[in-house]
Homo-oligomer: A and B are copies of this chain.
Amino acid sequence: MTARILVMPGDGVGPEICREAVRVLDTLATDHGLDIMLEEALVGGAAIDATGDPLPESSLEAARAADAVLFGAIGGPAWDDQPRDKRPESGLLRLRAELDLFANLRPAILYPQLAHVSALKRDIVAGLDIMIVRELTGGIYFGKPSGMHKNANGKREAFNTMRYDEGEISRIGRAAFDIARARGGRLCSVDKANVLDVSQLWRDVMNELGREYEDIELTHMYVDNAAMQLVRAPKQFDTVVTSNLFGDVLSDAAAMLTGSIGMLPSASMDANGKGLYEPVHGSAPDIAGQDVANPLAVILSVAMMLRYTLKRPDLAKKVENAVGYALDRGLRTRDIMDDEKQIASTQEMGGAIVDMLR
């Protein structure tokens, strides 16, 4: 069956990097029989300029109809003064909520060729390949009650509620166990069960699921220790699953371990394998339109789409290998440039990947 892919380029460098990703998808269709149909829709600042809304109804409908969304990047100084619900970012938040994308997949991968850009010593980080699975639609960022008021002593007081029910925990747990099974077979669940009731339920449910996934090695770690271990010996991890807030912090820390945010893809998935795929980096308005942005994060997002929505791990591997070959050949966009390497433009890097996929 033909898979429908919606491309939402967005703002800043979004359009120019998505153009390279589309060339990759086109090549996979023509040369490797990938059965896809591409459409495009407005989102973010570009959508605000055209329609007044960062997520116009037509874009939302197209996203609903699609099997997967390839998302560029959004935002920029032109829209910073808008009220919160008219900012580009609110378009992405609404899209994730409307599509019920509760599983956020954040790989932290460091190609050995790029170990020099990391803040960590080469032997500690070269070849890093971990996957952080973050719950994205529950927890303290959405928990009720929340608010600010004056308390009985007349003092301002504010509060938020970290809340999960077993259904929310088990669906992200299942997603993570399945991912661990397709990877190294090890899953580390991160919580703060020594202090928090909500973490105790999290740990209980993970242990219950663990009995259904007997082939997966399940371990538990407290969030403060996980932050330490990520710095000390990040390669000890295979797949990590954690709640919304903890995942926000740990996935960003893990991304920065690699030193090369311009290389990192991500996915946000629903319960049926539909996903929104996007680079971790932002819209970088300062370099937009200059053909210098690194297209590898969005191209690696295509690889994730191939693996997790289109169920073509063989093609995912081809794309990932092509990226490795381009780095081996010495091609570097400006953000990952190194002495004695060859500077490549956005289009040259995309073209090199396409050539290797033919």
Residues of A within 8 A of B (CB): 118-121, 124, 140-141, 143, 146-148, 151, 153, 155-167, 192, 195-198, 200-202, 204-205, 223-225, 227-233, 245, 248-250, 252-253, 255-257, 259
A155 pairs with B166, CB closer than 8 A: yes
- Report Cα–Cα, A166/B157, bound state, in Å: 6
A231 to B231, CA, bound (A): 8
The residue in chain B whose Cβ has the minimal distance to the Cβ of A231 is: B256
Residues of B close to A118: CB separation below 8 A = 121
Complex CA distance for A223 and B227, rounded to whole angstroms = 13
Given A120-B231, A156-B166, A161-B161, 7 additional A-B pairs, CB 8 A:
A119-B232, A140-B140, A143-B159, A224-B252, A227-B249, A228-B253, A253-B253
Is B227 a contact of A195 with CB atoms below 8 Å?
no
A158 contacts B151, CB within 8 Å? Answer: no
Distance in Å: Cβ of A102 to nearest Cβ of chain B: 16
Whether B119 contacts A201 by the Cβ 8 Å rule is no
**Contacts A196-B140, A256-B231 hold; do A201 and B160 have CB atoms under 8 A apart?**
no
The CA of A160 and the CA of B196, in the complex, are separated in Å by: 7
- The answer to whether residues A158 and B148 also contact, given A119-B231, A196-B141, A231-B119 and a CB cut-off of 8 A, is no
Chain B, residue nearest A124 (CB): B119
How far apart sit A156 and B257, CA to CA, in the bound complex (Å)?
36
- Inter-chain contacts of A155 with B (CB < 8 A): 165-167
Contact indicator B227/A252 (Cβ below 8 Å) = yes
CB pairs A–B below 8 angstroms (7 shown): A118-B121, A119-B233, A146-B197, A153-B165, A156-B204, A158-B197, A158-B198
B residues less than 8 Å from A201 (CB atoms)? 148, 156-158
Bound form: Cα–Cα A61–B152 in Å: 32
Verify B200–A228 contact, CB threshold 8 A.
no
Name the B residues within 8 Å of A165 (CB-CB): 151, 153, 155-158
Contact between B159 and A197, CB atoms less than 8 A apart: yes
Contact B158 A200 (CB under 8 A): yes
Which chain B residues lie closer than 8 Å to A162 at the CB level?
Answer: 140, 159-162
A159 to B146, CA, bound (A): 12
Q: How far is the CA of A88 from the CA of B164 in the complex (A)?
A: 31
CA distance A121 to B231 in the complex (A): 12
What's the least CB distance linking A158 to chain B, in Å? 4
- What CA separation (Å) do A252 and B200 show in the bound complex? 21
**Among B124, B143, B157, B224, which residue has its beta carbon within 8 angstroms of that of A248?**
B224
Q: Chain B residues with Cβ under 8 A from A232's Cβ? A: 119, 256, 259
